[in-house]
Amino acid sequence: MAARRLAVVRSCATGVCFAAAVLALAGWRASAQQTTATVITNVNVLDGSGAPARRANVRISGDRISAVGELTPAPGERVIDARGLMLAPGFIDPHSHHDRGLLEQRDALGAVSQGITTIVVGQDGGSALPLGESFSKLEASPASVNVASYAGHGTIRRGVMGADFKRHATSAEVGKMVELLRAEMQAGALGLSTGLEYDPGIYSDPSEVVALAKAVAPFGGRYISHIRSEDRDFWKALAEAIDVGRQAKIPVQVSHVKLAMRSLWTQHAKLLATLNAARKDGIQLTADIYPYTYWQSGMSVLFPARDFSNRASAEFALREVTSPEGLLVVRFSRDRTLEGKTLAEIAKLRGTDPPQTMMDMLKEAGEGDIGIVATSMDERDVAEIMKWPFAMFCSDGTSNGGHPRGFGAFTRVLGRYVRAQKVLTLPLAIQKMTSASAAAMGLKERGMISPGYFADMVLFDAATVVDRATTRDPRALSEGINTVWVNGEVVFENGKGSGRYPGKVLRRAK
């Protein structure tokens, strides 16, 4: 049939014949979908609503779920006996960096191996510019995952201000940023993202952010923010994010929410009360969180005043935010031999104390930065925050990073916080990973196992699913993930990618 279809297209020279070829192609596709329908039998369905699992069969027709319930496979349909495993909607990662290198590594192994089927990128104020061009490349060379994106404030700010960004923008410059942002929204961006702890966003005035947030409101856009401080000025930074939602009248999501300083530890009750008060005031506030007590970023964020030679700042960072033993260097282009060592180990090798060692390394890095993984949170806070009804899970990871979240965030929740610690029930954890994330990102027909929804699904063993990635082996594959479908096609099974690339670009719903 495929050969005959190609022959028809190649032999057509007129518009009429071309139209006939298109009809033939459509018929071939419909026929292919009919003959390749799949029925998953003997499966426990967690539909993403938060309801308990129920035994059912699920039919996939093309890229959609066509039926759920007591189904009898028809002749010619492919049948998969799930043998009592759990079937959930594919996990939606609302704060991801798995797009890094995606055009070259289309299997997105870090994502799909932990059950992620949709990644939401353009985070922390950084995105492709222009987005339309990036989307076109992804559509020409699809990946194994669906991709949605925010428009990054930092990227737009650099586009307007260039290297002269270490100051407040003028009103004319903000106007230019607004125009760039509107173009990105028209291209399908979900909304505006900020990384206010990073260059160049750290130098912006709050009024600049509000002006941009107001610009996405007419498009039905959203605001997602890596707030200005996750440690020293946390409460002020959180209040700023909430105020953006209040002034712009758009939904707000706090990225990878955390209490990342020793003096903030155990203050989760105050945090949740602040979040709930904002929601009571009418602000559509949500948050995402990853299930680790350590983060990955650049060493420069430990110096919010960018005073890298200030010993008092270095000492504060190593006393309050992290520790020499808890600061792991994962990327240092000036001396690759130091990668994989803690600051304490490097200080011993160099014969300087940890604060001086950190300052020396930043000086050596010059205009670059040093990739670190830093232990900074208390697990009691992590567990309590993830229980907040409007919190969902993210990876904040990549397929090539030094943090294990790139390969293990979602399976860590299922293995550690659901099965072992019983912080959450399995249906609730799945809801947070699926329908809750879809709603917070404005994604339609994703995040549920229901007729008419796209067939993004993950088959897993609830008794064994667990992460295996560590800081020493950040790309170790999880256990217990059996099969992953994206738009009806298998992209991961038997511990490896399938070599299929059915992922779609998900533009903001109009």
Reported as a single tens digit per residue, the pLDDT across 90-106 is 999 999 999 999 999 99
- Same domain as 260, residue 117: yes
Q: What are phi and psi of 91, to 5 degrees?
A: -75, 140
Domain region containing 340:
302-375
The reported pLDDT for the residue numbered 11 is 31
Cβ atoms of residues 259 and 271 within 8 Å: yes
The reported pLDDT for the residue numbered 181 is 98
Query: Which residue's entry shows tokens 């943090």?
Result: 403
Q: Is residue 79 part of a domain?
A: no
Task: Provide the domain count of the chain.
Answer: 3
- Same domain as 166, residue 18: no
Q: Is residue 279 part of a domain?
A: yes
- Same domain as 234, residue 110: yes
What does the DSSP assignment read for 314-354?
HHHIIIII--TTTEEEEE-TT-GGGTT-BHHHHHHHHTS-H
Burial class (CB in 10 A: 0-12, 13-18, 19+), 250: buried
Q: Is residue 214 part of a domain?
A: yes
Q: Is residue 473 part of a domain?
A: no
- Same domain as 181, residue 119: yes
Q: Is residue 234 part of a domain?
A: yes
The reported pLDDT for the residue numbered 510 is 72
Q: Is residue 350 part of a domain?
A: yes
Last residue of a domain, one of 416, 445, 474: 445
Q: What are phi and psi of 460, to 5 degrees?
A: -145, 165
Residue numbers of the chain with a pLDDT score lower than 50? 1-35
Q: Which of 508, 506, 429 is nearest to 119 (CA)?
A: 506
- In angstroms, rounded to a whole number, what is the distance separating the alpha carbons of residues 426 and 183? 41
Q: Which of 299, 297, 294 is nearest to 354 (CA)?
A: 299
Q: Is residue 324 part of a domain?
A: yes
Tell me the Ramachandran region of residue 182: left when phi exceeds 0, alpha when psi lies from -120 to 50, beta otherwise.
alpha
Q: Which residues pair with 64 in a beta bridge?
A: 61, 454
Q: Which two tokens stand for residue 16?
A: 């009429």
- Same domain as 198, residue 110: yes
Is 295 strand, coil or helix?
strand
The reported pLDDT for the residue numbered 141 is 97
Q: Is residue 72 part of a domain?
A: no
- Same domain as 181, residue 199: yes
Q: Which residues pair with 286 in a beta bridge?
A: 253
What's the predicted TM-score (pTM) here?
0.91
Maximal C-alpha separation, the chain: 80
